Homo-oligomer: A and B are copies of this chain.
Amino acid sequence: MKVTVVGGSGYTGSELLRILARHPKVGGLTATSTQHAGKKASALHQNLLGIYDKELEVMDKKTLDADFVFLATPHGESMNIAPQLIENEVKVVDLSADYRFDDVKVYEQFYSKHTSPDLCKKAVYGLPELYRDRIKKAQLVANPGCYPTSVILGLTPLKEVKELELNRITVDSMSGTSGAGYKPTEFTQHSEVDENLKVYKVGKHRHRPEMEAVIEEQLKKKVKVSFTPTLAPVIRGIQSNIHVYGSTAVDLMEHYKKYYKKEFFVRITETPCIKNVANTNYCDIGVWYDQNASQVIAVSVIDNLVKGAAGQAVQNMNLMKGFDEKTGLECIAGHP
Contacts and interface: CB of A to CB of B under 8 A. Distances in A.
A259 to B, nearest CB: 15
Contacts of A21: 332
A180 to B, nearest CB: 8
Contact of A335 (B18, B203, B225, B299): B18
Contacts of A86: none
Interface of A: 11, 14-15, 18, 21-22, 45-51, 168, 170, 172, 174, 176-178, 180, 182, 184-186, 188-199, 202-203, 208, 224-228, 230, 232-237, 239, 241, 243, 245, 264, 267, 269, 271-276, 278-279, 284, 286, 288-295, 297, 299, 301, 305, 330-336
B47 A297 contact: no
Contacts of A278: 195
Contacts of A195: 194-195, 234-237, 274-275, 278
Nearest to A243: B170
Contact of A197 (B15, B51, B237, B243): B237
Contacts of A279: 279, 334
B295 A226 contact: yes
A299 B202 contact: yes
9 contacts: A51-B332, A177-B191, A184-B186, A189-B189, A195-B275, A199-B239, A199-B299, A202-B299, A226-B297
A237 B294 CA distance: 29
Contacts of A196: 234, 237, 273-275
Given A197-B239, A203-B291, A189 B191 contact: no
Nearest to A333: B47
Most chain B CB neighbours (cut-off 10 Å) among A227, A233, A267? A233
Contacts of A297: 202-203, 226, 228
A311 to B, nearest CB: 11
Given A50-B267, A226-B290, A331-B331, A194 B208 contact: no
Contacts of A273: 46, 196-199
B168 A245 contact: yes
Contact of A49 (B11, B49, B267): B267
Most buried by B among A198, A271, A333, A336: A336
A199 to B, nearest CB: 5
A7 B261 CA distance: 31
Given A293-B203, A297-B226, A46 B191 contact: no
B233 A334 contact: no
Contacts of A224: 292-294
A75 to B, nearest CB: 20
Residue of A45, A194, A243, A269 with most chain B CB atoms under a 10 A cut-off = A194
Nearest to A298: B202
Contact of A184 (B188, B272, B334): B188
B49 A241 contact: no
A273 to B, nearest CB: 4
Given A174-B174, A202-B288, A228-B297, A236 B334 contact: yes
